[in-house]
């Protein structure tokens, strides 16, 4: 355990940020999985709706710094490609 006051604060801040990042990452992954399930079922209309939700959650994660912006763009490109090849 840290003895210095600023170190104790940093531990609290990093724990809070970790929990926030984990929640954002989890919701992003859930929306991607819902989209992929719709693609696997062949439901194009539902997949189109879920694609915009997935894009939104990916963009939010990138904006918050949970994932890098290049990773966000790569994920969105792969999702869009899976929809277009459907």
In 3-state terms, what secondary structure has residue 42?
A: coil
**Cβ contacts of 50 within 8 Å, gap of 6 or more:** 31, 34, 35, 38
CATH number of the domain that residue 40 is part of: 1.20.58.110
pTM higher than 0.85, yes or no?
Answer: yes
Domain that holds residue 66: 5-84
**Total number of domains constituting the chain:** 1
Could you tell me the two tokens for 36? Answer: 């992929």
What is the pLDDT, as a whole number, of residue 7?
95
pLDDT digits (tens, 9 = 90+) for 61-73: 999 999 999 999 9
pLDDT digits (tens, 9 = 90+) for 23-51: 999 999 999 999 999 999 999 999 999 99
What is the pLDDT, as a whole number, of residue 79?
97
């Amino acid at each position: 355990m840290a003895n210095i006051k600023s170190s104790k604060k940093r531990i609290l801040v990093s724990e809070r940020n970790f929990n926030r990042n984990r929640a954002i990452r989890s919701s992003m992954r859930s929306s991607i999985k819902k989209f992929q399930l719709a693609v696997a079922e062949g439901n194009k209309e539902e997949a189109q709706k879920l694609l915009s939700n997935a894009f939104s959650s990916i963009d939010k994660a990138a904006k918050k710094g949970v994932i890098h912006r290049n990773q966000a763009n790569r994920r969105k490109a792969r999702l869009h490609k899976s929809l277009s090849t459907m």
